[in-house]
Amino acid sequence: MGFLDRFRAAEPDEEPDPPPADAGAERCGGFAALRRLALAGGEVAVQRPVLIDGLLAYGISLEAISAIMTNVRDGIVLFEDDAAAPSSRVGGSGELPVGVDWPLDCDGQPLTFIARFALGELPSLEPLPAEGTLLVYWSERCFEFDRMDFRVATRVFWVPPDQGLQKVAAPPDAKTYKPTPLTGALMPVLGEVDRITVPPEDRDPFYEAFDELMQLYDHQLLGLSRDVQGPVLQEVSYWFEQGFPSTRADYTDAEVAGEGWMLLGQIEETRDLAFGDGGALYLVIPEEDLRAWRFDRVIGIMQCS
Rounded (10°) angle between helices 62-69 and 44-57: 140
- Cβ–Cβ < 8 Å for 122, 88: yes
Residue 214 binned pLDDT confidence (cut-offs 50, 70, 90):
confident
Give the per-residue pLDDT at 101. 95
Q: How many CB atoms lie within 10 A of CB 204?
A: 12
pLDDT at 285: 98
Whether the pLDDT of residue 15 is over 90: the answer is: no
The closest alpha carbon to 140, from 273, 282, 267, 231, belongs to 273
Q: How confident is the model at residue 142 (pLDDT cuts 50, 70, 90)?
A: confident
E strand or H helix at 137, and its extent? strand 133-138
The answer to whether the beta carbons of residues 186 and 73 sit under 8 Å apart is no
**Given a cut of 90, is residue 5 above it in pLDDT?**
no
